């Protein structure tokens, strides 16, 4: 079952890559559709970030003192000012680990 | 006139700085796949077959959390729909190529490769073999992604579970969208979809991953209307 899903997901991803180059006339995209499409990352990724930080393994809200909240805030702070992808991830993980293992 | 190989090499050198983020991201993905309970071959297969970092993480995370295949596959499609935009831009430069070449090049279209090759295309409209730039950047990224995934799979099998590596998932996505935080309209849309996802998280089949982006897009639509 999982294998079938991987192949279908792979096929759909390939379609998104080749469709505009080989199949479809790019003028089918009107300006409004392009504008909406530009928001896709901003709607998809927060849908993973927020539950990943605010909820625990059982889908319940964590408390304000949860190490994940500090980790995420550190990552946002470091990422905003450094504009560096890897520094953002590492700073978030490090602060998370410091709180878990040191305190 | 530059030769095909020269242009291929320019593609390689142009995309090289991006490897600093692609390689660690690949390692993180491989390790997360193992942490989520998938076997090494399956985790690696997604890198070969789907070849889209963020969507691979979401795909495995949803499946491991009990989402239906339909939801997991649809999410991959939604996340990767941005390639449609890249294709629309690139088609202008690739339209003279044969169908076989177009089909081949399509597999290698990813964010970083698109970014650097599109800049090159804009600057060098007169060159004959420009598509070798995209092949150069694309194959470089592809190779690094495959190797770093395998490295991550190995690391994931020796990293202790106590480290809570799953937390790297939200952190990775924070890193991906951090620059959009500077735009007020994107910030509003992010908060709306994030809160919606938290609220609908326990909806059946993990359908929150489709419901909340739709709510976010509706907010984006309202903002676009309001801007006019």
Residue pLDDT, tens place only, A22-65: 987 767 777 888 788 889 889 999 999 999 999 998 889 999 99
Please tell me the predicted confidence (pLDDT) of residue B109.
Answer: 95
- Give mean pLDDT, residues A12-19: 96
- Do A47 and A19 lie in a common domain? no
- Do B161 and B190 lie in a common domain? no
- Do B65 and B120 lie in a common domain? yes
Q: How confident is the model at residue A92 (pLDDT cuts 50, 70, 90)?
A: very high
- How many structural domains comprise chain A? 2
Q: Do B50 and A72 touch (CB under 8 A)?
A: no
Residues of A in contact with B78 (CB under 8 A): 40, 44
pLDDT tens-place values along chain B, 228 residues long: 789 999 999 999 999 988 988 898 899 999 999 999 999 999 999 999 999 999 999 999 999 998 999 999 999 999 998 898 889 888 888 988 999 999 999 999 998 899 899 989 989 887 789 999 999 999 999 999 999 999 999 999 888 878 888 899 899 899 989 999 999 999 999 999 999 999 999 998 889 999 999 999 999 999 999 987
Please tell me the predicted confidence (pLDDT) of residue B159.
Answer: 84
Compare all CA atoms of chain A with the CA of B19 and give the residue at the minimum distance: A86
Q: Kindly state whether residue B173 falls inside one of the protein's structural domains.
A: no
Cβ-Cβ contacts under 8 Å for A38 (sequence gap 6 or more): B85
> Strand, coil or helix: what is A55?
strand
Please tell me the predicted confidence (pLDDT) of residue B45.
Answer: 98
Overall pTM surpassing 0.95 (yes/no)? no
- Do A63 and A103 lie in a common domain? yes
Compare all CA atoms of chain B with the CA of A84 and give the residue at the minimum distance: B175
- Give mean pLDDT, residues A56-84: 94
- Do A22 and A46 lie in a common domain? no
Please tell me the predicted confidence (pLDDT) of residue A31.
Answer: 80
Please tell me the predicted confidence (pLDDT) of residue B228.
Answer: 77
- How many structural domains comprise chain B? 2
Q: Which of B54, B91, B175 sits opposite A89 (nearest CB)?
A: B175
- Do B12 and B69 lie in a common domain? yes
Structural domain that includes position A29: 1-37
- Complex ipTM value: 0.91
- Please identify among residues 33-92 of chain A the ones whose CB lies closer than 8 Å to any CB of chain B: 34-55, 59, 61, 68, 71-72, 75-76, 79-80, 83, 85-86, 88-89, 92
Please tell me the predicted confidence (pLDDT) of residue B115.
Answer: 87
- Do B70 and B41 lie in a common domain? yes
> Strand, coil or helix: what is A61?
strand
Residue B73 vs residues A3, A93, B174: alpha-carbon distances, Å: 12, 29, 22
For residue A61, the cross-strand partners are A55
Please tell me the predicted confidence (pLDDT) of residue A26.
Answer: 64
Q: Which ranges constitute the DSSP H helices of chain B?
A: 4-15, 19-35, 40-49, 53-64, 69-80, 82-94, 99-106, 111-123, 131-158, 168-177, 184-199, 208-227
> Could you tell me if A1 lies within 8 Å of chain B, comparing CB atoms?
yes
Give the residue from B15, B26, B67, B63 showing the smallest Cα distance to B48.
B26
Task: Please count the helices (runs of H) and the strands (runs of E) in chain A.
Answer: 5, 0
């Amino acid at each position: 079952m999982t294998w079938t899903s991987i192949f279908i997901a792979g096929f759909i991803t390939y379609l998104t890559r080749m469709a505009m180059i080989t199949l479809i006339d790019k003028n089918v995209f009107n300006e409004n559709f392009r504008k909406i499409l530009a928001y896709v990352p901003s709607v998809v990724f927060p849908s993973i970030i927020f539950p990943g930080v605010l909820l625990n393994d059982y889908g319940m809200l964590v408390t304000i003192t949860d190490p994940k909240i500090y980790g995420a805030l550190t990552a946002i702070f470091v990422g905003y000012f450094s504009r560096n992808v890897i520094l953002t991830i590492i700073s978030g993980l490090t602060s998370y680990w410091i709180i878990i293992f040191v305190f | 006139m530059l030769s095909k190989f020269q242009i291929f090499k320019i593609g390689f050198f142009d995309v090289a700085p991006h490897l600093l983020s692609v390689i660690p991201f690949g390692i993180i993905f491989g390790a997360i796949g193992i942490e989520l309970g998938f076997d090494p071959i399956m985790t690696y297969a997604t890198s070969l077959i789907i070849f889209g970092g963020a969507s691979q993480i979401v795909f495995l995370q949803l499946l491991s959390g009990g989402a239906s295949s339909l939801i997991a596959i649809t999410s991959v499609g939604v996340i990767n729909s941005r390639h449609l935009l890249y294709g629309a831009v690139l088609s202008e430069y690739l339209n003279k190529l044969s169908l076989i070449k177009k089909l081949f090049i399509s597999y290698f279209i990813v964010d970083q490769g698109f970014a650097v090759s599109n800049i090159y295309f804009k600057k060098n409209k007169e060159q004959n073999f420009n598509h070798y730039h995209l092949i150069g950047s694309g194959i470089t990224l592809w190779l690094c992604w495959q190797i770093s995934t395998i490295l991550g799979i190995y690391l994931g099998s020796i990293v202790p579970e106590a480290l809570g590596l799953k937390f790297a998932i939200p952190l990775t996505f924070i890193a991906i969208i951090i620059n959009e935080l500077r735009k007020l309209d994107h910030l509003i849309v992010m908060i709306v979809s994030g809160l919606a996802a938290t609220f609908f998280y326990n909806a059946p089949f993990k359908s929150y991953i489709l419901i909340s982006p739709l709510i976010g897009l509706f907010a984006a639509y309202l903002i676009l209307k309001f801007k006019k």
